[in-house]
Amino acid sequence: MDRGRRHRPGRDRQERHARRDHALRAHGGAQPVPLGARPARVDLGARARALSRAEAGPGPARRRVAPPGRSRRRRVRGLRADGLRVQRVGRLAAHQPGHVVGAGAAPLGEHAPPDHDPGAAHDRAARAAPGARPREREGRRVSPQIRVTDLKKHFRVHERAPGLAASLRSLFSRTHRTVRAVDGVSFEIAAGERVGFLGPNGAGKTTTLKMLSGLLHPTEGEVAVDGHVPQRREAAFLEKIMLVMGQKQQLIWDLPPADTFDLNRAIYEVPRAQFEETVRELTELLDLGDLVRKPTRELSLGERMKCELVAALVHRPRVLFLDEPTIGLDVSTQVVVREFIREYNLRHDATLILTSHYMDDVAALCPRVIVIDKGQLSYDGGLEALVMQVRPEKRLRLRLHAAAAEEEVEALGQIIEREEREIVVQVAQEALAGAVSRALERLPVTDFTVTAAPLEEVMSELFARSREARERSE
Ligand SMILES: Nc1ncnc2c1ncn2[C@@H]1O[C@H](COP(=O)(O)OP(=O)(O)OP(=O)(O)O)[C@@H](O)[C@H]1O
Ligand SMILES: [Mg+2]
């Protein structure tokens, strides 16, 4: 008997999703989204039945297998209700790139509390007509499109010591531990914002995105996305969002990406003309050309990721959850992908939450960042403000045409890099002007640049500080 199961409060939806993912994998799917890699022949019926069985669970009373007489469209609808991609619904109001709403630069280690009653606000958001637009943008607070209030996700995991004896013991007595993947996170995001969602490995980013897209149920707290409660996974909600995970794939492995695009068109009932216009626009932006007609298995990683993006955008979602979309891509493909994402955001006023460990992605795309660590928020505010808070010093890089005297270099500030003809010194903001004029006067300078500290350093410093703050409070 599986005694661990007895401790669980019934089979909740999350377990059904796990079974569904398993079923999808068994049917060739590779991920929690509905259209994973598959064998050469696509059997929509088998796939839909696998989904239904997985959703329904093993009990006969809960089986929801589509009867044989059901139309393909009906089955496809069933798929859609579980998937993340449906068709576009309207456009958004004009957006202001970089406009931070409801989250000024919070002090490190603490989050600026929203200036509203979170419970009432959530109720309002959930009751509001789907697609309700912010009423005011210029100078006044607008209603957020995404509202997360004291969100928690705790996983109860079974712990087993290594060894056969421990395995046998665990059959009779199980020990559990709670993983606090997300532990009380609150933030608000306005329509059209581009927000970087950052944190070290295991911080809780993917778990949060899964709750925002309705793949996981929160343990506690509230989420509202464009007036919907994601965990309900209503079709009207799924029509508005997309989730792309850089490490998962939805393209059908043995078929060309164009076939996956077309399958998504059918699943999400995108009108043919709109679909063709969208695919033309997106493939042009990504310079994909005829690549979309090659079997997916023959594409490079970068080409595949570009096609993944097109497949996920066929229905023109207005809220984009992007979980490490540039992972593993070479530098030039990273640039293409991030430019594409920005262009989509600008053209369609789409809201964007991006997780990435590549700070170049964040710098290029996200005027605002939300940083979490160990499931808790450690910063929410402007990227520049974050840099100014954590590393206000500037970097002065000097190129020289001759060697410089050691004491002259040391007098400028803290030496970060030192080569014969190139020197980088760190200088306090207020001492910068003096250091530049001194360098020009006393050193054989041919060229100089002033930059902020690299974002990677800023982030590791921030992570270190929040770790220290946590250890102090424990
Ligand atoms: N289904 C699960 N069961 C148990 N623990 C889980 C589950 N999913 C995630 N976790 C744990 O929750 C924590 C947060 O995981 P999550 O995947 O959200 O991190 P992340 O911030 O996305 O990290 P990364 O940058 O490595 O992708 C981790 O400690 C992880 O092991
Ligand atoms: Mg992750």
Calculate how far, in angstroms, residue 180's C-alpha sits from the geometric centre of ligand 1: 9
In a domain, 186, yes or no: yes
53 plus 158 within the same structural domain: no
Calculate how far, in angstroms, residue 71's C-alpha sits from the geometric centre of ligand 1: 39
Segment 80-97 mean pLDDT: 29
357 plus 414 within the same structural domain: no
338 plus 356 within the same structural domain: yes
Residue owning the nearest CA to atom 8 of ligand 1: 207
Distance from C-alpha of 174 to C-alpha of 18, rounded to nearest angstrom = 21
Q: Are strands 394-400 and 414-418 parallel, antiparallel or unpaired?
A: unpaired
Question: What are the residues whose beta carbon lies below 5 Å from ligand 2 (ion)?
Answer: 205-206
Tell me what pLDDT residue 182 has.
Answer: 98
Residue owning the nearest CA to atom 16 of ligand 1: 204
Calculate how far, in angstroms, residue 431's C-alpha sits from the geometric centre of ligand 2: 40
Segment 115-121 mean pLDDT: 33
In a domain, 324, yes or no: yes
- Evaluate: CB of 201 within 6 angstroms of ligand 1: yes
128 plus 228 within the same structural domain: yes
Residue owning the nearest CA to atom 5 of ligand 1: 155
- Evaluate: CB of 155 within 6 angstroms of ligand 1: yes
251 plus 371 within the same structural domain: yes
Calculate how far, in angstroms, residue 133's C-alpha sits from the geometric centre of ligand 2: 30
In a domain, 276, yes or no: no
Distance from C-alpha of 322 to C-alpha of 43, rounded to nearest angstrom = 28
- Evaluate: CB of 206 within 6 angstroms of ligand 1: yes
- Mutate-to-test residue for ligand 1 from 153, 180, 197, 205, highest number of ligand atoms within 8 A of CB: 205
Calculate how far, in angstroms, residue 177's C-alpha sits from the geometric centre of ligand 1: 14
- Evaluate: CB of 181 within 6 angstroms of ligand 1: yes
Strand partners, 320: 242, 352
Q: Between 457 and 8, name the one with better pLDDT.
A: 457
In a domain, 93, yes or no: no
- Mutate-to-test residue for ligand 1 from 20, 179, 183, highest number of ligand atoms within 8 A of CB: 179
Half-sphere exposure of 326 (CA within 13 A, CB side): 23
pLDDT tens per residue, range 209-221: 999 999 999 999 9
Q: What is the DSSP letter of 221?
A: E
426 plus 335 within the same structural domain: no
237 plus 355 within the same structural domain: yes
Tell me what pLDDT residue 420 has.
Answer: 84
403 plus 375 within the same structural domain: no
Tell me what pLDDT residue 77 has.
Answer: 39
Query: CA-CA distances (angstroms) from residue 195 to 187, 241, 358, 383?
Result: 11, 15, 14, 10
Neighbouring residues of 201: CB distance < 8 A, sequence distance ≥ 6: none
Confidence band of 99 (pLDDT split at 50, 70, 90): very low
Among candidate residues 450, 448, 438, the one with its CA nearest the CA of residue 400? 448
Q: Between 364 and 138, name the one with better pLDDT.
A: 364
Half-sphere exposure of 382 (CA within 13 A, CB side): 9
Calculate how far, in angstroms, residue 325's C-alpha sits from the geometric centre of ligand 2: 11
Calculate how far, in angstroms, residue 244's C-alpha sits from the geometric centre of ligand 2: 12
- Mutate-to-test residue for ligand 1 from 8, 207, 362, 371, highest number of ligand atoms within 8 A of CB: 207
pLDDT tens per residue, range 415-456: 999 988 999 999 999 999 999 999 999 999 999 999 999 999
Indicate if the pLDDT at residue 26 is higher than 50. Answer: no
144 plus 251 within the same structural domain: yes
Confidence band of 166 (pLDDT split at 50, 70, 90): confident
Among candidate residues 116, 162, 106, 119, the one with its CA nearest the CA of residue 386? 106
- Evaluate: CB of 15 within 6 angstroms of ligand 1: no
Split into its structural domains, the chain has a count of 3
Classified as helix, coil or strand, 100 is coil
- Evaluate: CB of 157 within 6 angstroms of ligand 1: yes
Indicate if the pLDDT at residue 330 is higher than 90. Answer: yes
- Evaluate: CB of 179 within 6 angstroms of ligand 1: yes
Indicate if the pLDDT at residue 40 is higher than 70. Answer: no
Averaged confidence pLDDT in the chain: 76
Exposure string (b/e) for 45-75, b if CB count within 10 Å is 16 or more? Answer: eebbbbbbbbbbbeeeeeeeebeeeeeeeeb
Lowest-pLDDT range of 131-145, 308-322, 394-408:
131-145
Confidence band of 318 (pLDDT split at 50, 70, 90): very high
Could you tell me the CATH number of the domain that includes residue 227?
A: 3.40.50.300
Tell me what pLDDT residue 386 has.
Answer: 94
- Evaluate: CB of 374 within 6 angstroms of ligand 1: no
In a domain, 102, yes or no: no
In a domain, 436, yes or no: yes
Segment 269-284 mean pLDDT: 96
Q: Which helix (H) or strand (E) holds 366?
A: none
Tell me what pLDDT residue 139 has.
Answer: 53
161 plus 248 within the same structural domain: yes
224 plus 145 within the same structural domain: yes
Calculate how far, in angstroms, residue 71's C-alpha sits from the geometric centre of ligand 2: 38
Confidence band of 138 (pLDDT split at 50, 70, 90): low
Q: Do 108 and 378 contact (CB within 8 A), yes or no?
A: yes
In a domain, 36, yes or no: yes
Segment 43-60 mean pLDDT: 39
217 plus 330 within the same structural domain: yes
pLDDT tens per residue, range 376-388: 999 999 999 999 9
Could you tell me the CATH number of the domain that includes residue 397?
A: 3.30.70.1150
**For residues 194, 153, 241 and 313, what is the CA-based torsion angle, rounded to 10 degrees?**
80
In this structure, the number of other CB atoms found within 10 A of the CB of residue 417 comes to 11
Domain ranges, residue 444: 392-452
In a domain, 349, yes or no: yes
Calculate how far, in angstroms, residue 206's C-alpha sits from the geometric centre of ligand 2: 4
The pLDDT > 90 percentage for the chain reads: 60
Query: CA-CA distances (angstroms) from residue 317 to 221, 335, 351, 396?
Result: 25, 22, 9, 43
